[in-house]
Structure 1
Amino acid sequence: MNLESPKVTLDKSAEETFNFLSDVKNFETLMPENISKFEVLDNDKFLFALKGMPEIVLKKKEEIPHSKIVLGAAGGKLDFSLIGHITEVEANKSDVQLTFSGEFNAMMAMMIKGPINKFIETLVTNMKTAI
């Protein structure tokens, strides 16, 4: 299953955007209002939970300076990635798009597609004010 957020344009350089997203503690400011728990576990790993959902641990898996950050599931039963694509538009403007990628059975995919789509849309929308 592959999902894409809308692309958002930020009034920040690709470097500033990348640096913000590289610091996992900053993800707390991007989370939806229905977050029930957020905890930084390491300098490259954090745990979060949304109301009514199980806790999820994300770990930074890959970085390509100023253009891409890959967060992946750290343990648990589900294997997926959340990828931030950053594109420099101008000196102080960058586009950001999140993609979610994971292998799920048809039943699971049907159940989680809507909530995950909404989740990644919220993350990129909140970037406009957080970064």
Structure 2
Amino acid sequence: MNLESPKVVIDKTASETFEFLSDVKNFEALMPENINKFEIIEANKFLFALKGMPEIVLKKRESIPNEKIVLGSGGGKLDFSLTANITSLEENKSEVNLLFDGEFNAMMAMMIKGPISKFIETLVHNMKTAI
């Protein structure tokens, strides 16, 4: 299952945006209002839970300076990745969009497609004010 967030323009350079997203503790500021738990496990790994949902662990897997950060599932039964693509637009503007990629059976994909789409849209929308 592949899901893509809308693109959002950030009033920061690609470098500043990359630095913000490189620090996993900054993801707490991007979380939806219904966040129930956020905890740093290691320097590049965090856990979060939204009300009514199971806890999810994300770990930074890859980064290309000023261009891309890839977070992946850090444990559990589901294997997926969340990629932030950063594009430099102007001197003090960059564009970000999120890509979610995971392998799920048809029933699971049907159940989680809506909530995950809403989640990544919220993350990218919150970047406008958090970064």
> What interval of TM-score do these two structures reach, taking the shorter chain for normalisation?
over 0.9
1:91 Cα deviation after fit: 1.1
Provide the residue aligned with 1:17 in structure 2: 17
**Which aligned runs of 4 or more in structure 1 are off by greater than 4 angstroms?**
none
Q: Residues of 1 paired with 2:52 and 2:90: CA distance?
A: 41
> What is the DSSP-based 3-state SS (H/G/I as helix, E as strand, rest coil) of the residue aligned with 2:75?
coil
1:35 Cα deviation after fit: 0.4
For structure 1, which runs of at least 5 residues remain unmatched after alignment?
none
Q: Residues of 2 paired with 1:129 and 1:90: CA distance?
A: 18
The residue correspondences of 1:50-65 to structure 2 (distance < 5 A) are 50-65=50-65
Provide the residue aligned with 1:34 in structure 2: 34
The residue correspondences of 1:1-131 to structure 2 (distance < 5 A) are 1-131=1-131
For structure 2, which runs of at least 5 residues remain unmatched after alignment?
none
- 1:116 alignment partner AA: I
- 1:111 alignment partner AA: M
Q: Percent of aligned positions with the same letter in both sequences? A: 77
Report how many residues are paired.
131
Q: Residues of 1 paired with 2:64 and 2:91: CA distance?
A: 19
- 2:130 alignment partner AA: A
Q: Which whole-Å deviations, capped at 9, do the CAs of 1:14-59 have from their partners, x for residues lacking one?
A: 0000000000000000000000000011110000000000000000
- 2:37 alignment partner AA: K
> What is the DSSP-based 3-state SS (H/G/I as helix, E as strand, rest coil) of the residue aligned with 2:33?
coil
Q: Residues of 2 paired with 1:107 and 1:2: CA distance?
A: 15
Q: Residues of 1 paired with 2:50 and 2:82: CA distance?
A: 16
